[in-house]
Amino acid sequence: MAQSLSCVLIHLVFSTKNRRPIISAAFEQDLFPYFATVLRGMNSPSIAINGVEDHIHALFSLARTVTIADVVEEVKKRSSKMAKANPNGVADFQWQNGYGAFSIGGSQVPDVTRYIAGQKAHHQKMSYQDEFRALCRKYGVEWDEQYVWD
């Protein structure tokens, strides 16, 4: 019998709408595990999830039967709905429309995992916008300042 196999590792990054600082420490205790649950439900298990008040990073293994856009749409939709109902969330919670999805190799997993784990310390020195620009440069992704922020 033929077998289809894949190993596609994705570093996903996106912010709250207009980069509002609305992910509290109490809410992230529910949000990050919920993200992992949604990813697992899409057969795209998480490796690392973390963030700060205005954005989130997730490293996950993309299922071979879904697109990145499908995963992003589902995690944004479900986590936004959960945020609105969660006592630690925000009633008008929204994610930005866009996102950054960067493929990595298996050998990069330890470094990217450490990078994601260190988000709180990292963002004492750098804004989300500067970080996102740096990630785009690192992965060779062109962007347009007029459309990348919302």
Residue 142 in any domain: the answer is yes
DSSP 19: G
State the pLDDT at residue 46: 98
Q: Is the pLDDT of residue 2 over 90?
A: no
Residue 2 in any domain: the answer is no
Residue 3 in any domain: the answer is no
If one counts the domains in the chain, the total is 1
Residue 87 in any domain: the answer is yes
Domain that holds residue 51: 8-148
Alpha carbon 102 to chain centroid, angstroms: 10
Residue 77 in any domain: the answer is yes
CA angle 75, 76, 78 (to 5 degrees): 65
Grouping H, G, I as helix, E, B as strand and the rest as coil, residue 132 is: helix
List pLDDT tens digits, range 13-70: 999 999 999 999 999 999 999 999 999 999 999 999 999 999 999 999 999 999 999 9
List pLDDT tens digits, range 92-116: 999 999 999 999 999 999 999 999 9
Residue 90 in any domain: the answer is yes
**Could you tell me the CATH number of the domain that includes residue 118?**
3.30.70.1290
Q: Is the pLDDT of residue 1 over 80?
A: no
- Please tell me the pTM assigned to this model: 0.94
Bridge partners, 52 (sequence order): 55
Residue 57 in any domain: the answer is yes
Residue 130 in any domain: the answer is yes
